Amino acid sequence: MPVYSVSNVEDLRICVVMVGLPARGKSLIATKIVRYLSWLSIKAKCFNVGTYRRLQTIHPSASFFEPDNTEGEKLRREAAVLATKDMIRWFEEENGVVGILDATNSTVERRNWILQICREEGLEPMFVESWCDDDEIIMHNIIEVKTRSPDYEGQDPEQSVRDFRERIRNYEKVYQTLDDESLTYCKIINVGAQVIINRIQTYMESRIVYFLTNLHIRPRAIWLSRHGESMFNLSGQIGGDSDLSPRGRMYAEQLPELVRQSVGDAPLTVWTSTLKRTQQTASKLPYPKLAWKALDELDSGVCDGMTYEEIEEQYPEDFKARDDNKYEYRYPGGESYRDLVIRLEPIIMQLERQENILIVTHQAVLRCIYAYFMNVSQDQSPWMEVPLHTLIKLTPRAYGTEVTRIKANIPAVSTFRQKGSSAKHDATPQTTAELHLSL
């Protein structure tokens, strides 16, 4: 029996069909939709037709994409068929909810073929077009992304740029923008300068559209830090609203310089939670600040203020249940990691809109935000080790997020708890989860 996530309240299966000329950011948009929905526990996957085409044609020149190249057209169609078949199999065998067909899908004929498949398979088609005539953006995309594509591996970069521009011209000869008012679509023009939506009806579709309208590609970074060591960290108590320890205050003193070295003179806004320990940590930072209730630490309900040892003694079944499934476990009267992700969704949406932001927050919250950017699974994210007194810089790139860790030279206890342990301060583990932070 299909197990749909709570978020798929409508019991729908949506096929998102990307549309656009080459180098319009379709793959980037598709991967971001998948990452966002997966983070929200909505089963999503991208099927990139280019990857299937490369199975038979590894280094095609522009002429392969000429509309009257019948052999090229045949191979491209075969790749689209393979990708579509895999997508349908995925919907059926893995109970997929949102499948994305990532290709140019640039003609009405090709889109009608996909519509026909959607009708046969009971999928809701939703078209997402990226339309862009800003030559500077297109040139930047070609140089930054396309010349590094496997299509041009080992080739002269200047020749690759010329060839890719020629490829685009070939697509332009037959390209038809979306204008059929009977279709469900979202057309993003010049990276969101204008967005046209048509027949968006379901909750899931409107959620995807809302996400898309918040995306931008201006260069920026996001810095994450936990608060400095707190008095509760020293005593091994969870939750609460304690002050910083003396070493935590030292971190607050050192943080402005650590941040300045990484941010330079660029503008920055600092977000904290409403709890004292994050506000005290950010107090010396010379930037505008905003305190968000949504950034408060995971609510540990009846266990708030207890040590892990006390929880194990007083609530042994809960202690075990949490180890068995840390993501789903909800403290009595409190929250689970899943609850926290839902609470953090507006933060993620705002983060997508913003430029440079430093977030000073808490262990569980930081894990969830980090999991969004780094695509960390729900099995792993609650177990990631996020040390105190460490600044993490996330730089979004075309195909992923680059991570840099900057450690302050101020010791702090480890608040990481290994599965099964109730030790006050576990030794720093060497888990795979920790490796995510070192990428």
> Which positions make up the binding site for substrate?
226-233, 277
Contact 124, 202 (CB under 8 A): yes
Q: What is the CA radius of gyration of the chain?
A: 24
Binder among 8, 15, 16, 26 for ligand ATP (CB under 6 A): 26
Please give the backbone phi and psi of residue 114, each rounded to the nearest 5 degrees, phi first.
Answer: -65, -40
For position 302 contacting ligand ATP by CB under 6 A, the verdict is no
Binder among 92, 144, 313, 402 for ligand ATP (CB under 6 A): 144
Q: How far is the CB of 430 from ligand F6P (least distance, A)?
A: 17
Please name which of 404, 55, 39, 377 lies closest in space to residue 211, comparing C-alpha atoms: 39
Q: Which does 191 bind (CB under 5 to 8 A by kind): ligand ATP, ligand F6P, none?
A: ligand ATP
User: Can you tell me the distance from the alpha carbon of 205 to that of 27, in angstroms, rounded to the nearest whole number?
Assistant: 18
Q: Say whether 228 sits in a helix, a strand or coil.
A: coil
Q: Binding pattern to ligand F6P, positions 415-434, x when CB under 6 A?
A: x-x-----------------
For position 20 contacting ligand ATP by CB under 6 A, the verdict is yes
User: Can you tell me the distance from the alpha carbon of 114 to that of 120, in angstroms, rounded to the nearest whole number?
Assistant: 10
Q: Say whether 340 sits in a helix, a strand or coil.
A: helix
Q: Which does 398 bind (CB under 5 to 8 A by kind): ligand ATP, ligand F6P, none?
A: ligand ATP
Annotated binding site: 226-233, 277
Of the ranges 21-29, 265-273, 329-337, 403-411, which one interacts with ligand ATP (CB under 6 A)? 21-29
Q: How far is the CB of 281 from ligand ATP (least distance, A)?
A: 33
Among positions 337-366, residues that touch ligand F6P (CB under 6 A) are 362-364
Number of helices and strands in the chain (H, E): 15, 12
3-state helix, strand and coil shares in percent for the chain, rounded to the nearest 5: 45, 15, 40
Q: Which does 273 bind (CB under 5 to 8 A by kind): ligand ATP, ligand F6P, none?
A: none
- In the sheet that 124-131 helps form, which strands lie side by side, from edge to edge? 44-48, 98-102, 14-19, 124-131, 185-189, 194-198
Q: How many residues interact with ligand ATP (rule CB under 6 A)?
A: 21
Q: How far is the CB of 233 from ligand F6P (least distance, A)?
A: 6
What's the number of CA atoms in the CB half-sphere (13 Å) around residue 290?
12
Cα–Cα distances in Å, from 151 out to 146, 155, 156, 367, 416?
8, 9, 12, 36, 44
Q: How far is the CB of 112 from ligand ATP (least distance, A)?
A: 20
For position 197 contacting ligand ATP by CB under 6 A, the verdict is no
Both tokens of residue 117?
């498949």
Q: How far is the CB of 251 from ligand F6P (least distance, A)?
A: 15
- Position closest to ligand F6P via CB: 238
CB atoms within 10 A of CB 327: 20
Q: Which residues 6+ apart lie within 8 Å of 58 measured at CB?
A: 150, 151
Task: Give 262 or 421: the residue with its C-beta nearer to ligand F6P.
Answer: 421
User: Can you tell me the distance from the alpha carbon of 373 to that of 36, in angstroms, rounded to the nearest whole number?
Assistant: 9
Q: Say whether 55 sits in a helix, a strand or coil.
A: coil
Among positions 271-330, residues that touch ligand F6P (CB under 6 A) are 297-298, 300
Q: Which does 229 bind (CB under 5 to 8 A by kind): ligand F6P, ligand ATP, none?
A: none
Binder among 84, 141, 273, 336 for ligand ATP (CB under 6 A): 141
Q: How far is the CB of 363 from ligand F6P (least distance, A)?
A: 4
User: Can you tell me the distance from the alpha carbon of 35 to that of 365, in angstroms, rounded to the nearest whole number?
Assistant: 18
Q: Which does 415 bind (CB under 5 to 8 A by kind): ligand ATP, ligand F6P, none?
A: ligand F6P
For position 62 contacting ligand ATP by CB under 6 A, the verdict is no
User: Can you tell me the distance from the alpha carbon of 52 to that of 310, in angstroms, rounded to the nearest whole number?
Assistant: 55
Q: Which does 297 bind (CB under 5 to 8 A by kind): ligand F6P, ligand ATP, none?
A: ligand F6P
For position 244 contacting ligand F6P by CB under 6 A, the verdict is no
For position 76 contacting ligand ATP by CB under 6 A, the verdict is no
Residues that bind ligand ATP (CB under 6 A): 20, 22-29, 50, 104, 130, 132, 137, 141, 144-145, 188, 191, 217, 398
Residues that bind ligand F6P (CB under 6 A): 233, 238-239, 297-298, 300, 362-364, 382, 415, 417
